[in-house]
Amino acid sequence: MLSKNIENSLNNQIRIEAESSQIYLSMASWAETHGLEGISKFMYAQSDEERMHMLKLMKFINERGGHAQVSELKAPKISYGTFKEMFEELYKHEIFVSVSINELVHIAFSEKDYATHNFLQWYVAEQIEEEAQAKIILDKINLIGDDKGGLYLFDRDVQQLTLNGSTSKGH
Ligand code: FEO
């Protein structure tokens, strides 16, 4: 059985994952309307992945006698300046999610809820991967600079990340 405090904290994480999914969906649409097909596919896949993170939390809460709640979400931005700025936002957002997961782990540990603590380890590992992936992408973007040919190749590369399944691991 979940304590009320843990149930509320997990529900808060559901909202964060749902908002992440919306943010990446908005990024996907922005990229699609700017001819960035590969980046757009990557963002659509990323959005699906966040939805999966959300669903996993919902199942866990309900299986342990709580009630997973679907709440109102903050609307994401519609426009992202440049694709570089967009990936910088993605990276910052993933760091924000990691901080939130860490806080959850801390709460579970301090309440001696080892089942929740154990469940959250999957998210800890996932965040390490997500941050690392975003960092690799940003490093590539910095290498390209203003080179249009570089952007073309980068767009294809990022799409490969999606096709290779590195945005759909751990399901
Ligand atoms: Fe669900 Fe990208 O963190």
Atom of ligand 1 nearest to the CA of 49: 1
Tokens 């993933």 sit on residue: 94
DSSP, collapsed to helix, strand or coil, labels residue 77 as: coil
- The span from the CA of 79 to the CA of 76, in Å, is 9
Atom of ligand 1 nearest to the CA of 94: 2
The tens-digit pLDDT sequence of the chain (171 residues) is 899 999 999 999 999 999 999 999 999 999 999 999 999 999 999 999 999 999 999 999 999 999 999 999 999 999 999 999 999 999 999 999 999 999 999 999 999 999 999 999 999 999 999 999 999 999 999 998 878 888 888 999 898 877 666 554 444
AA letter at 161: L
- Distances, alpha carbon 116 to alpha carbons 1, 53, 149, 156, 168, in Å: 10, 15, 48, 39, 23
Q: Are 38 and 159 in contact (CB under 8 A)?
A: yes
Annotated binding-site residue? 50: yes
Domains, the chain, ranges and CATH? Answer: 4-168 (1.20.1260.10)
